[in-house]
Amino acid sequence: MDLFFRKIVKDNGQALTVLATQINETVAADGGNGRLKQERAAVGQALADVQGMVGTLVGFLMSSQEERRNVYKVGLNTSRLLLSLVDLVVGWLLVRQAEVALGALDAGGLKPADEAFYTGKLAAARFYTQTVLPELTARRTVVETTNLDLMDIPEEAF
């Protein structure tokens, strides 16, 4: 909740906007001569999903002025937002590292250990963008379809 209320809402999203701009620059770049196109697209989709989550949570917060209970929808999803933001940043950094790795591998003349290291960087970026980042789309759906059913269960049920 601290991330959403104090770092995003209170800041009017300024820090998040700076981060999104940097991520978009990586997504739009062509380092690696198109060989990181799928990885960049996955990061771009993850960014769109995180931005969608933030937009939905801001909508819940604003609507809580009319229906106070809607603030619970924010609370039910702030951990999901935090985890998604972490996954996005890790994916973005891995793609940036993969770009450096491709440059080093293309330049050649590497020691076997360095070649293995850079090859591992590429593999990590591909694995992460293929297997972790797609989860953010499902999380976004969960955020967007949040209801208050859990909040309506009587305390005795617990």
What tens digit of pLDDT does each residue of 133-154 get? 999 999 999 999 999 999 999 9
Band (pLDDT 50/70/90 cuts) for residue 96 is very high
DSSP 8-state assignment for residue 33: T
User: Using CA atoms, how far apart are residues 90 and 86, in angstroms rounded to an integer?
Assistant: 6
**What pLDDT score was predicted for residue 110?**
97
The whole-model pTM stands at 0.94
pLDDT of residue 51: 98
Residue 158: predicted pLDDT: 86
Decide if 151 contacts 69 (C-beta within 8 A): yes
